[in-house]
């Protein structure tokens, strides 16, 4: 997970400038550390360098001049690849899963609206439900491995307990994902509200 | 997949397009599930999604309103009740969350019961039953009645009874639902080791991911249809068309 993925998701709604992106990020992810403006700026520069975003133009409503950025097709493809990518089912991945679900919904908003068609429309639409399904399967596969390890005849207690620790956390992720999946429609409405 | 002891190419159990209503309440809406010999399959899904109804139809306890259930390629659902009940006794073992032991009988007699009903002699039935109680670590409770045992012990006795006839498939509906996590783990470990050793298939209904992780494969029931990521059970009949809505509900009970 990186800042550029989140910015690509925010840019899905249309071109935007650095300060606006920072403000929307901090609003959308209140539990995360607020983005430093310097970090937004350097990430945008890097994204332009890598062809993920490009400069749309500059505006100044009386105040200082601001550069607006837009997402490129390559940027949209990169984002959609990341959104579909299952996280390694280590414990404590819920935060990345949550970010992915919200960014997928943000990124799907412009498609749902049909307006503001821009780069990357040939990429498949992000599908947070399908992503959660795939993530659940990856978590279950890891839980099966851990269960086999700890129930193998002769497994020592420290193996059992360390497997149990990982199993408990994966189980917590799964419960959270099941709840999130049941509430996707409501979350979409909240995230996509103008 | 696992080698079947039978020459038949048909899967051990195959349910196709099951529909079932309890009165006006639809419970299954085109549920399909295929289970191979010796395979362990977890069935997860939210409460009320139809997991128990599916298990009851596949084990021949209930008859679906439509669709079919096959055992070794032969129709099971169309057999008259007394034939299905005989098949349940010889080919299947069935375990519920609680309450399936006869309260007046000792653990040993409870475990021997399916053999006695099948016409076995009392002495041999008790010997076999004793060996299964031993496997599940409850030989010491052989003389106790269900009310005199802990929940975990009673569940081990129920499992011993489910396996005593050497069934081809065990159906377990939330077998650890009433147990704490350590007791649940011991019961599941004993169950999975026993079915693996005897090549018995296991259909395990559970809302708990840690319990489901004991099985080789997981399918999810949503709104009366089965979603099988392995693709082995065929497409979920009605719900696949609605895409999002059904797929949207991933997991199990919260
Ligand atoms: N005996 C019954 N009478 C009426 N409705 C029932 C009965 N058994 C189940 N149902 C209903 O059928 C649906 C599926 O139930 P069930 O198969 O028990 O689901 P699960 O095991 O997944 O919780 C639910 O809506 C439930 O309320
Ligand atoms: Mg049930």
Question: The CATH number of the domain where A23 resides is what?
Answer: 1.10.10.10
The answer on A62 and A105 residing in a single domain is no
Confidence class of residue B254 from pLDDT cuts 50, 70 and 90?
very low
Identify whether residues A61 and A117 lie together within a single domain. no
Q: How far apart are CA B248 and CA B253, in angstroms?
A: 14
Q: Do A53 and A129 share a domain, yes or no? A: no
Query: Which residue of B185, B244, B251 is in closest CB contact with A174?
Result: B251
Predicted pLDDT at B97: 81
Please give the pLDDT value at position A77: 94
- Note whether residue A148 is domain-resident: yes
Alpha-carbon span B197 to A37, nearest angstrom: 62
Give B240's pLDDT tier (boundaries 50, 70, 90): very low
Determine whether the shortest distance from the Cβ of B152 to ligand 1 is under 6 A: no
Residue B204: list chain A partners with CB under 8 A: none
* Helices assigned H by DSSP within chain A: 3-10, 18-28, 37-49, 73-84, 94-113, 128-151, 157-182, 184-192
Q: Which domain holds residue A9?
A: 3-84
β-strands A66-71, A53-59 pairing:
antiparallel
Ligand 1 lined by B49 (C-beta under 6 Å): yes
Which of A54, A84, A114 represents a domain boundary (last residue)?
Answer: A84
Q: Are residues A100 and A138 in the same domain?
A: yes
Kindly report, residue by residue over A133-166, the tens digit of the pLDDT: 888 999 999 999 999 999 988 888 888 888 898 8
Residue B249 has pLDDT above 70, yes or no: no
How far from A120 is each of A14, A33, A110, CA to CA, in Å?
A: 12, 29, 11
* Boundary-marking domain end, from A55, A84, A113: A84
What is the reported pLDDT for A59?
79
- If one counts the domains in chain A, the total is 2
pLDDT on residue B38:
96
Q: What tokens does B152 get?
A: 């975990």
Q: Is B51 in the pocket of ligand 1 (CB under 6 A)?
A: yes
Name the band, by pLDDT with cuts 50, 70 and 90, for residue B248.
very low
What is d(CA A102, CA A109) in angstroms, rounded to the nearest whole number?
11
Q: Indicate whether A156 and A178 sit together in one domain.
A: yes
Residue B2 has pLDDT above 70, yes or no: no
Residue A35 and residue A101 in one domain: no
Report the pLDDT value the prediction gives residue B29, as an integer from 0 to 100.
Answer: 97
Residues of A in contact with B250 (CB under 8 A): 129, 132-133, 136, 177-178, 181
Residue A90 maps to a domain: no
**Residue to probe by mutation, ligand 1, list B21, B22, B54, most atoms within 8 Å of CB:** B22
- Residues A80 and A126 placed together within one structural domain of the fold: no
pLDDT of residue B58: 97
CA distance B228 to B141: 40
Q: Is residue A89 part of a domain?
A: no
Q: Please report the pLDDT score of residue A31 as a whole number.
A: 64
| Residues A38 and A78 occupy one common structural domain | yes
Enumerate residues 6+ apart whose C-beta is below 8 A from A114. none
Ligand 1 contact, B44 CB (< 6 A): no
- Shared domain check, A142 and A173: yes
- Residue A12 falls inside a structural domain: yes
Cα(A95)–Cα(A84) distance, integer angstroms: 16
Chain centroid to CA B146: 21
- Tell me if B204 sits within 8 A of B212, measured CB to CB: yes
Q: Output the pLDDT for position B251.
A: 41
| C-alpha span between B157 and B163 (Å, rounded) | 10
Integer Cα distance of A94 and A9 in angstroms: 18
Percent of chain B with pLDDT over 90: 75
Average pLDDT over residues B190-196: 94
Name the helix (H) or strand (E) containing B15: strand B13-22
Q: Say if the Cβ atoms of B247 and A147 lie within 8 Å.
A: no
* Residue A93 pLDDT: 63
SS3 content of chain B, % helix, strand, coil (to 5): 35, 20, 40
The residue among A51, A84, A117 that closes a domain is A84
Average pLDDT over residues B37-58: 95
Q: What is the 3-state secondary structure (H, E, C) of A98-145?
A: HHHHHHHHHHHHHHHHCCCCCCCCCCCCCCHHHHHHHHHHHHHHHHHH
pLDDT < 70 regions, chain A: 1, 30-31, 91-94, 109-124, 194
Establish if A181 belongs to a structural domain.
yes
Alpha-carbon distance B202 to A182, whole Å?
28
The rounded mean pLDDT for chain B is 88
Pocket test for ligand 1, best of B20, B48, B55 (most atoms within 8 A of CB): B48
- Give pTM, 2 decimals: 0.79
């Amino acid at each position: 997970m990186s800042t550029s993925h989140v910015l690509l998701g925010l840019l899905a709604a249309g071109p935007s400038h650095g300060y606006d992106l920072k403000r929307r990020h901090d609003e959308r992810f209140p539990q995360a550390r607020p983005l430093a403006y310097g970090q937004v700026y350097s990430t945008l520069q890097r994204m332009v360098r890598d062809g993920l975003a490009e400069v749309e133009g500059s505006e100044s409503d009386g105040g200082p001049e601001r550069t607006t950025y837009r997402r490129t097709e390559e940027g949209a493809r990169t984002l959609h690849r990341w959104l579909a990518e299952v996280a390694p089912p280590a414990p404590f991945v819920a935060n990345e899963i949550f970010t992915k679900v919200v960014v997928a919904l943000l990124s799907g908003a412009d498609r749902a609206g049909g307006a503001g068609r821009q780069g990357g429309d040939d990429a498949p639409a992000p599908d947070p439900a399908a992503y959660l399904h795939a993530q659940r399967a990856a978590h279950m596969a890891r839980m099966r491995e851990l269960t086999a390890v700890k129930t193998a005849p002769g497994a020592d207690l420290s193996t059992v307990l360390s497997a149990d620790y990982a199993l408990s956390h994966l189980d917590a992720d799964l419960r959270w994902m099941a709840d999130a999946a049941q509430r996707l429609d409501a979350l979409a409405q909240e995230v996509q509200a103008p | 997949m696992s080698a079947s002891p039978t020459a038949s190419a048909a899967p051990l159990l195959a349910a196709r397009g099951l529909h079932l209503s309890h009165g006006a309440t639809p419970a299954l809406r085109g549920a399909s599930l295929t289970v191979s010999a010796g395979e362990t399959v977890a069935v997860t899904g939210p409460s009320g999604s139809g997991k128990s109804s599916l298990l009851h139809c596949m084990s021949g306890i209930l008859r679906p309103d439509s669709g079919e259930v096959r055992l070794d390629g032969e129709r099971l659902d169309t057999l008259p009740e007394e034939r299905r009940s005989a098949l349940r006794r010889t080919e299947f073992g069935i375990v519920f969350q609680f309450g399936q032991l006869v309260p007046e009988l000792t653990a040993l007699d409870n475990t021997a019961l399916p053999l006695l009903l099948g016409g076995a002699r009392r002495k041999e039935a008790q010997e076999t039953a004793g060996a299964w109680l031993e496997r599940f670590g409850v030989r010491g409770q052989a003389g106790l009645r269900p009310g005199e045992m802990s929940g975990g012990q009673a569940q081990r006795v129920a499992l011993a009874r489910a396996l005593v006839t050497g069934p081809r498939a065990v159906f377990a509906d939330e077998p650890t639902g009433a147990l704490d996590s350590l007791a649940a783990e011991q019961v599941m470990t004993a169950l999975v080791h026993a079915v693996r050793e005897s090549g018995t298939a296991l259909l395990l209904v559970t809302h708990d991911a840690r319990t489901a992780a004991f099985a080789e494969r997981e399918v999810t029931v949503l709104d009366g249809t089965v979603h099988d990521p392995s693709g082995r059970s065929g497409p979920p009949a009605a719900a696949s068309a609605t895409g999002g809505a059904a797929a949207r509900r991933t997991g199990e009970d919260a």
